[in-house]
Amino acid sequence: MNYNLLRAKEVFFILTLSTGLFNHVILIPLLLEAAGRDAWLSVITAFFPFLLFIWIIYYINKNTNQENISDWLKKRYGKLMAALIALPLILILFVHASITFINTSYWAEIYFLPTTPSFLISSVLLISCYLLSSRKLKILAIMSTIVLPMVVFLGFFIMSVNTTEKDPEYLFPLFLNGYVPFFKGIFFSLSGLTEIFVIILIQHKLNQKIQFKQIFWLGVVLLGLTFGPLSAAIMEFGPVEARNFAFPAYEEWKLLKIGEFISRLDFLAMFQWISGAFFRIGLFMYIINHYFNKRKSKLFLPFLYLIIYGFSFLKLDTYDINKFQYLYFLPFSLIIVVSITTVLFILVLLSKRREKAPLERS
């Protein structure tokens, strides 16, 4: 048995932390911008087309025998096809890692370390992520099994304590501005949920086959990580005020109060966010290094991190980043991910039929 390979639940732990950060924090202000009060219903409705995407991911995983997807494509369709499939997905991961890095650095500086030089905050975050992504994936998996339960506990903690601050009436009435915002909300919800395509990129690192129900429950968890803080933000602040916040999920921590003497425990939100950011950036950069750095150069990964570090000097604020994601990146990435996944599904289907044809003639 190769102990460097992962179990299915370890992969899902990593993805819950990495994709969970995006769905739980970064995506919510964009959903509120797109759909306003209707956003919570958009998230629920998005799960139905997402089920089809889950099945496609499962089909690809099952019928490629969990091989390295790039190697599988090279054997059957050539290097060009392998590059056309892998390169856009890798580029999307790199942009996601960069956005997560900039957002996390900016958030830590504004809310917790306003007197600390920004370059120092960025440097500490970058070095920590580099140390994660330069190790074996098994190490990330083991760490995720330790960190995720604590993150989940804090999530349920803030959800239960803030119950008295929630007013369900803020969730209604729906469709005040027609149905267009509702459908836009579905579109942006899918941009976060479809990130489970990462399973295809690391499937060769697993020591067991993934079952459909496992991917299904991962999808349910990711849906819950979006719906929970999104609906809570609307119920606690109202759709208009929640839309004005840069990070509504973090603002929910400021409402926390236990008795008369315990409040302002929002520093616990830092543990949640930093944990997700470490695993998200670390995982994505590990995948990029794994697919591009075939010669195992020790300078390739540091070079990529230096590029990301350079973005921190652009002095982009949350408004600029959210505008870039809302208008360009998330629509583009969703279209690319769905298109490439569909093409890959067709290629796998054709390959399977080719393999069956000689058997049927014999």
- How many other C-beta atoms are found inside a 10 Å radius of the C-beta of residue 317? 12
CA angle 163, 167, 169 (to 5 degrees): 145
Residue 99 covered by a domain: yes
Question: Which residues are 258's β-sheet partners?
Answer: 262
Provide the pLDDT for residue 288. Answer: 93
CA angle 286, 289, 295 (to 5 degrees): 140
- How many other C-beta atoms are found inside a 10 Å radius of the C-beta of residue 113? 16
**Mean pLDDT, residues 5-15 taken together:** 88
Provide the pLDDT for residue 337. Answer: 95
Residue 362 covered by a domain: no
Statement: residue 362 has pLDDT above 60 = no
HSE-up of residue 304 (Cα within 13 Å, Cβ side): 27
Provide the pLDDT for residue 352. Answer: 86
For 228, the domain range is 8-355
Residue 2 covered by a domain: no
Q: What is the rounded CA–CA span in Å between residue 249 and residue 25?
A: 6
Q: How many domains does the chain have?
A: 1
Residues across the chain: 362
**What CATH number is associated with residue 128?**
1.20.1740.10
Residue 82 covered by a domain: yes
Q: Whole-model pTM?
A: 0.93
DSSP SS3 for 257: strand
Model confidence over 207-253: pLDDT tens digits? 888 999 999 999 999 999 999 999 999 999 999 999 888 888 888 88
Q: What is the separation, in whole angstroms, between the first and last Cα of the chain?
A: 36
Residue 179 covered by a domain: yes
Residue 49 covered by a domain: yes
Residue 206 phi, psi (nearest 5):
-95, 145
**Mean pLDDT, residues 283-302 taken together:** 87
DSSP 265-276: -THHHHHHHHHH
Residue 3 covered by a domain: no
248 contacts 237 by C-beta, under 8 angstroms:
yes
